[in-house]
Structure 1
Amino acid sequence: MSTTGTTPDTAPPEAPGPRAVPAAPRMTRRQKLVLVLLLGAQFMIAVDFSILNVALPAVGQGLGFSLAHLQWIATSFALAAAGFTLLFGRVADLVGRKRLFTGGMVVLGLSSALGGLATSPEVLLTARVLQGLATAAVTPAGLALLTTAFREGPLRERALGLNGALMSAGFTAGAILGGLLTDLLSWRWAFFINVPVAVLVVVLAPSVITDSRPATRPKLDLPGAATVTGGLLLLVHGLTQAGESGWTTPGTLAALLTSAVLLTAFRFVERRAVAPLVPLHILRRRSVIWGNAAGLIAFVTETSLVFLLTLYLQEVLGYSPLATGLAFGVLGVGTVVGGMLGGRAAGRFGSRRTIVLGGGVQAVATLSLVALGTSGGWITLLLVATFIGGVGNMLMIVGFMVTATSGLPDAEQGAATGLATMTQQVGITLGIPVMSAVVTARTGTDTGPGAVLSGVSAAVLVNSALVLAGALLAGVFLGRSGGGRSDG
């Protein structure tokens, strides 16, 4: 056999050496612009959830809110944001996600200006409701634009990781920013700060964002919209009432029971709807069910932990609102780190393992806070534990977002992201009443530092057990057949 006629069968073996690793996909310049614009908007939305929390006493004094009615500044926003999210997720599919996103940002900017200029409680509450409605429109539309701008895989996981990091960091940054603005300027700047951001997004969105919507425009499922919106509004209202007046009062029980009836009716309505608000095959997907369950637990536990530690810092250690907000800066750094790691972890290990890992880390970090005492030296443990817990929480949230939105066509991303956003907002609303009830049950009528510490410790223990149970259950029930690269 001649050497010039060498065939593939007789070719000499390749010299041993390292195998070539395919290069990781890179974002295009346009994708980077889309990412910056959408993440900026989502960060601002997250800030709005918490920016007024530390400023509530100042707002009450400035506008004449009674102490009993002060909580409605937060509740009015949460009612609109959580109650209408799923509906607007479908509306985005009908009118175009870009159009709804831009329109929502316009309403958010105008309502923020109205809130900053408010001279009475009625005007302020109107502004907060409008902010909540704008949030319900912008969040699912923006998330759907994000998932359709990036193909399922590493780039989408990275984008969702950054989105989750900024959403969680925004919640923490809101507390810090609210304290700073209230102390240095006025509580009104907690509203005014939104206006230039909204203007910038509205100006840039038409040229940067590419619209996406289903090929065929479905009809709006009005019976489904009525039952799910009414059910969610009553759920949030009932949870708020529970935190304010107890779980067994007639108003709380009536709201929660009626909510359960309406949400159960929603499932039956969707079975018969020609164009259901949420197609039942989406609700049957294991990845959607357990991904959202994990996300609900993640938001319930971390946002309520901020509430518990606020009680500890102010009532036990005597911190000011500004100092309390600054202490949560470490948690914000942890969430950013967790968000940056989350996309990589989901791509390498699968979203199911990422959820379990993140939940385990968060649970252990939270459990360590049971050791907190009454001396100022315990702040070191709090800072370390909240940083580590923030990283774990973000791993869990990124795993939830990837799981709950993967394996679905672009036409169904509005419904899937609407569900995921609803989960997030209900979780933020649910956590504080639940943990507040645990604290109250432990402390009774005693309001001294020792009693508050005892109540906070009991709630921290419940919080840790809840996140561990949620992560483990999601890990058990999320399998390869659940879709969404759940097992990596």
Structure 2
Amino acid sequence: MTTDQTADRETAGLAEPAPDGVMTGKQRVALIVLLTASFTLAVDFSILNVALPSIGADVGFAIANLQWIATAFALCSAGLTLLMGRVADIAGRRRMFLIGMVLLGVGSAVGGLATTPAVLLIARVAQGVATAIVVPAALALLVGAFAEGRARDRALGLNGSLMAAGFTTGAVLGALLTDLLSWRWAFFINVPIAIAVLIVAPIVLEDSRTRERTRLDVPGAVLVTLGLLALLYGLTNAAETAWTDPVTLGALAAAAVLLTVFVLVERQAEFPLVPLGMLVRSNVAWGNIAGALAFVTETSLVFLLTLYLQDVLGYTPLAAGLSFALLGVGTVLGGLVGPRIIGRFGNKAAIVGGFLVQAVATLSLVIVSDAPESIWLVLVATFVGGVANLVVIVGFMVTATSGVPASEQGLATGLTTMSQQVGITMGTPIMSAVLTAVVLGSAVQGPSAVLAGVTAAIWVNGAICVAGALAVAMFLRARPVA
């Protein structure tokens, strides 16, 4: 290890790693704590989706306003994540991680007890802010706990697989809790997890912050936060209405203006929130682009197949959710094999190969029909695509966080978290627009129109995978194979 690397680890407040990529006992416990927190927050993205009608009936939400239960969470979690990642660099990552877990526990308890729409939305905002605090802080702590190499790649692989599996698990768990107990348990389940993490985390996690003289770039923080909120609101509104809706266009235009001004401000800032030099690094820029595309494609494919399973094959919401179990298994497997592939072939080859395999698996779904036997193709294709997608995600995380000083790991992991959440938010509006255009243009409505729309959107989804592979192959500078 070089003198600079040692200084970075001392700045981060971390112990030297075990040799040859072997995790120490303390590292293993710390990894479990961080992965538990990240997985729980990933579950929260989707755990309430199936329960929305029940929540509306119990709490008094109008049908038109139900989408705000998901939107409030998504706007806060994605819109604030870059800011919170930088705050963690300055204030301390363990401190911010613990603050976020407290907020998650309190917000979840309030949500489970809510009897009015206002209180429930406040709880979802609290969960979203908690996600924006915890996820980049946890990822920065995880990255800082392991030197670059096999141990870090393994840790990132597990983190990626559990994060991706969390989205699928959330849909299934939400359906089970709503059917067997109550939607309120989708909130309450977080409380004991938060308490357990808060008990163990102070023992096994080392605090860290930058020792360099710095301060928070308030103008930059305000501009980028408002810009991201406007972007995400525009994307979310597009999914609910249309891309040509005036509110959608206004929000996207505001986002473009705010983010442009943000770049201009950052050029002059003494302590920029995002050093522009970081964004032009090949690994940071193309790693995050690959990550965003990976989440755009896989999460939106789940949306498309959910419509196919329910509106074409006639599955119940619970049966449709359970049909993605093999996808969940594939994501976990992909997270486990991803580091091995990176170790043997390099991060660039892993991302390119993963995208190409995912494209083949996705495009095979264009031949599904209204025949019940099509479910077998769905199961196989989603399993293979899930493995490949997680290889890409692990490659993206390794790529986008490599070679970054410890003092900027919170920012780097904030960028990766933002890429994940922006990708998740973008995917559904894009595929929904394709599907809607085909359905509305169809001469015959009903299941056949939905099938035609789903098929068209799957073509677009697969094409995005191919485009991602080509872009990374052409522009990403590979990290040397260990």
Shorter-chain TM-score category? over 0.9
> Which structure has the bigger radius of gyration?
1
- Equivalent in the alignment of 1:238: 234
List alignment gaps of at least 5 residues for structure 2. Answer: 1-18
Whichever residue aligns with residue 474 of structure 1, its letter is V
Query: Please, which of 289, 307, 312 is the counterpart of residue 316 of structure 1?
Result: 312
- Equivalent in the alignment of 1:185: 181
Output the CA distance in 1 between the equivalents of 2:369 and 2:388.
24
- Corresponding position: 1:152 with 2:148: yes
CA apart distance, 1:463: 0.4
Whichever residue aligns with residue 462 of structure 2, its letter is S
Q: Deviations over 1:314-334 (max 9, x none)?
A: 111111111111111110000
- Corresponding position: 1:68 with 2:64: yes
Give the 3-state SS of the residue equivalent to 2:373 in structure 1: helix
Whichever residue aligns with residue 332 of structure 1, its letter is G
Whichever residue aligns with residue 462 of structure 1, its letter is V
CA apart distance, 1:348: 1.6
- Equivalent in the alignment of 1:289: 285
Output the CA distance in 1 between the equivalents of 2:20 and 2:311.
50
Whichever residue aligns with residue 421 of structure 2, its letter is Q
Whichever residue aligns with residue 364 of structure 1, its letter is V
Output the CA distance in 2 between the equivalents of 1:415 and 1:42.
17
Give the 3-state SS of the residue equivalent to 1:423 in structure 2: helix
Whichever residue aligns with residue 450 of structure 2, its letter is V
Q: Deviations over 1:182-236 (max 9, x none)?
A: 1111111111111110000011111010112112251000011011000000001
Q: Given that residues 352 and 475 in structure 1 are in contact (C-alpha distance below 8 angstroms), is that contact kept between their aligned partners in structure 2?
A: yes
Q: Given that residues 363 and 467 in structure 1 are in contact (C-alpha distance below 8 angstroms), is that contact kept between their aligned partners in structure 2?
A: yes
- Corresponding position: 1:476 with 2:445: no
Query: Please, which of 92, 95, 100 is the counterpart of residue 96 of structure 2?
Result: 100
Output the CA distance in 1 between the equivalents of 2:138 and 2:55.
30
CA apart distance, 1:486: 6.2
CA apart distance, 1:25: 2.6
Output the CA distance in 2 between the equivalents of 1:211 and 1:95.
10
Output the CA distance in 1 between the equivalents of 2:151 and 2:26.
13
- Corresponding position: 1:462 with 2:455: no
Whichever residue aligns with residue 329 of structure 1, its letter is A
Output the CA distance in 2 between the equivalents of 1:321 and 1:273.
50
Output the CA distance in 2 between the equivalents of 1:212 and 1:341.
30
- Corresponding position: 1:80 with 2:76: yes
Q: Given that residues 342 and 481 in structure 2 are in contact (C-alpha distance below 8 angstroms), is that contact kept between their aligned partners in structure 1?
A: no
- Corresponding position: 1:339 with 2:297: no
Q: Given that residues 352 and 486 in structure 1 are in contact (C-alpha distance below 8 angstroms), is that contact kept between their aligned partners in structure 2?
A: no
Output the CA distance in 2 between the equivalents of 1:230 and 1:53.
26
Give the 3-state SS of the residue equivalent to 2:48 in structure 1: coil
Output the CA distance in 1 between the equivalents of 2:20 and 2:222.
45
Compare 420-429 and 209-218 and name the one that shifted more. Answer: 209-218
Output the CA distance in 2 between the equivalents of 1:401 and 1:414.
13
CA apart distance, 1:24: 4.5
- Equivalent in the alignment of 2:121: 125
The change in CA–CA distance for 1:255 and 1:349 in structure 2 (over 3 A counts) is same
Q: Given that residues 344 and 481 in structure 2 are in contact (C-alpha distance below 8 angstroms), is that contact kept between their aligned partners in structure 1?
A: no
Structure 1 outlier segments of 4+, above 4 Å: none
Output the CA distance in 1 between the equivalents of 2:391 and 2:196.
30
Q: Given that residues 38 and 146 in structure 1 are in contact (C-alpha distance below 8 angstroms), is that contact kept between their aligned partners in structure 2?
A: yes
The change in CA–CA distance for 1:68 and 1:486 in structure 2 (over 3 A counts) is farther
- Corresponding position: 1:359 with 2:355: yes
Output the CA distance in 2 between the equivalents of 1:321 and 1:292.
33
Output the CA distance in 2 between the equivalents of 1:368 and 1:90.
42
Whichever residue aligns with residue 384 of structure 1, its letter is V
Query: Please, which of 246, 254, 259 is the counterpart of residue 250 of structure 1?
Result: 246
Give the 3-state SS of the residue equivalent to 1:375 in structure 2: coil
Q: Given that residues 358 and 384 in structure 2 are in contact (C-alpha distance below 8 angstroms), is that contact kept between their aligned partners in structure 1?
A: yes
Output the CA distance in 2 between the equivalents of 1:331 and 1:212.
36
Q: Given that residues 96 and 133 in structure 2 are in contact (C-alpha distance below 8 angstroms), is that contact kept between their aligned partners in structure 1?
A: yes
Identity within the alignment, %: 63
- Equivalent in the alignment of 1:452: 450
Output the CA distance in 2 between the equivalents of 1:24 and 1:391.
26
Output the CA distance in 2 between the equivalents of 1:463 and 1:367.
8
Whichever residue aligns with residue 368 of structure 2, its letter is L
The change in CA–CA distance for 1:113 and 1:391 in structure 2 (over 3 A counts) is same
Compare 66-75 and 376-385 and name the one that shifted more. Answer: 66-75
Q: Given that residues 359 and 393 in structure 1 are in contact (C-alpha distance below 8 angstroms), is that contact kept between their aligned partners in structure 2?
A: yes
- Equivalent in the alignment of 1:4: none
Output the CA distance in 2 between the equivalents of 1:37 and 1:486.
31
Give the 3-state SS of the residue equivalent to 1:214 in structure 2: coil
Give the 3-state SS of the residue equivalent to 1:275 in structure 2: coil
Q: Given that residues 239 and 429 in structure 2 are in contact (C-alpha distance below 8 angstroms), is that contact kept between their aligned partners in structure 1?
A: yes
The change in CA–CA distance for 1:252 and 1:158 in structure 2 (over 3 A counts) is same
Matches within 5 A, 1:266-305: 266-305=262-301
Give the 3-state SS of the residue equivalent to 2:21 in structure 1: coil
Whichever residue aligns with residue 93 of structure 1, its letter is D
- Equivalent in the alignment of 2:12: none
Whichever residue aligns with residue 214 of structure 1, its letter is T
CA apart distance, 1:64: 2.0
Q: Given that residues 217 and 271 in structure 2 are in contact (C-alpha distance below 8 angstroms), is that contact kept between their aligned partners in structure 1?
A: yes
Q: Given that residues 94 and 217 in structure 1 are in contact (C-alpha distance below 8 angstroms), is that contact kept between their aligned partners in structure 2?
A: no
Q: Given that residues 147 and 156 in structure 1 are in contact (C-alpha distance below 8 angstroms), is that contact kept between their aligned partners in structure 2?
A: yes
CA RMSD of aligned residues (A): 1.2
- Equivalent in the alignment of 1:19: none
Whichever residue aligns with residue 65 of structure 1, its letter is F
- Corresponding position: 1:349 with 2:364: no
CA apart distance, 1:101: 0.2
Q: Given that residues 52 and 178 in structure 1 are in contact (C-alpha distance below 8 angstroms), is that contact kept between their aligned partners in structure 2?
A: yes
List alignment gaps of at least 5 residues for structure 1. Answer: 1-22
Q: Given that residues 148 and 212 in structure 1 are in contact (C-alpha distance below 8 angstroms), is that contact kept between their aligned partners in structure 2?
A: no
Output the CA distance in 1 between the equivalents of 2:153 and 2:295.
19
Q: Deviations over 1:99-137 (max 9, x none)?
A: 000010000011011111110111111111110000000
